[in-house]
Homo-oligomer: A and B are copies of this chain.
C-alpha cells in the first residue's frame, strides 16, 4: 500500500518530483532522480493505475471482444494481439460474448469498455446498430478482425476468395459430387464468415454447372463434433458425395472422422478439404487453405497501437492477408472422375 507520498517522504522531495523522476519526463537533477528511484525501489512502489488513469484519462488497456474464446481461431488471434500490446505496456481486457448456445451471444455494452479501455478490437462479430452506437459514443479507436465494418480499420482474409480457392481445387481434381459442411442456423446474425464462405462455395459450383443438394449440406455449430454428427448422417445415406468441402478445419476433422467410422478411406473414398491450417491440420494430413491467424492478431494489435499514438491519421486500412492452398493427403481425384453417384456398398466393397 505504498503511495507516491511515501516515496516522496523517503526521498525527501515533493510528490510532484517523484512523479517526474519516475516517469522520466521533464528535467530532474540526476542526484534527485537517483534518490527517488532508490526510494521507490526500496518501497516496491508502483503507481496506482486507477489514480493515473483518473487524471490522465487513459487506461493502457484494450478491450478484445470475441464471440467465443475457447476456440482455436479466437484464442490464437487474442494471443497475437496480447503479445504486441504487451510490448508497449498495454494489457488486454477480455470480453467474451459467448452465450449459452451457439446461436446466441451477449451484447456489447458500454459498461464493458467505458473508461476501462483506450480502444477495442472486435473479433468476427458484426455489431448490431445499437452496439454500433454504443461503440461510436465511446469514441474509442476500434479495429476489427475477420470482417470489415464501415469506418473502422480491419484485418482479415478474403473469406470468399479462400473458399473459392478450396472449392476450385477439388473441382479441378475432377469432383462433381461435392458436399458442404458449415452452414449455420438462420438465427445466427452475429457471424458473417459462414455466409461469405457458403456463398463463394455455391458460386464456384454453379460456375461449373454444379450444385450441392440440401442433403449434402451440413449445418452445424462449427465444431469438429458438430460436423462429425452431421457427416455421420451424410455417410449413412445411399448416395453421398466424393468430396466434402468444410468451411473450417475443425469441421473437416469431424467429417474425416465420420468417414472413417463408416469404413471410408480418405481420400480414396471421400476427399476432404478445410480452411484455416489449424494447428492440427498437418498432423491429420488435411488439405486446407492456410491463413496466418496469429499474424492477424499481431497486425490488429499494431494498428491499435498506432491509433493510440495517433500515428494512423484518418486512413482506415483494410488489411487483407494472403491465403495459400496447402495440399496434403486428404484430397485426391474422385474414384470415378466425372461424377456419378456411388453407393455406400460399392465403396466398402471396393
Contacts and interface: CB of A to CB of B under 8 A. Distances in A.
A35 interface: no
Given A44-B137, A82-B94, 13 more contacts: A49-B114, A49-B116, A50-B51, A51-B54, A54-B54, A69-B75, A70-B79, A71-B75, A92-B94, A253-B280, A253-B283, A257-B283, A284-B284
A57 to B, nearest CB: 9
Contacts of A69: 75, 78-79, 82
Q: How many copies altogether? A: 2
A82 B54 contact: no
Interface string A144-158: 000000000000000
A54 B48 contact: yes
A53 interface: yes
A44 B228 contact: no
Contacts of A91: 93-95, 112, 116
B280 A224 contact: yes
B50 A54 contact: yes
Interface residues of A, number: 50
A333 to B, nearest CB: 21
A279 interface: yes
Interface of A: 44, 46, 48-51, 53-54, 59, 69-72, 75-76, 78-79, 82-83, 86, 91-96, 98, 110-112, 114-116, 137, 223-225, 228, 250, 253-254, 257, 261, 279-280, 282-285, 294
A291 to B, nearest CB: 15
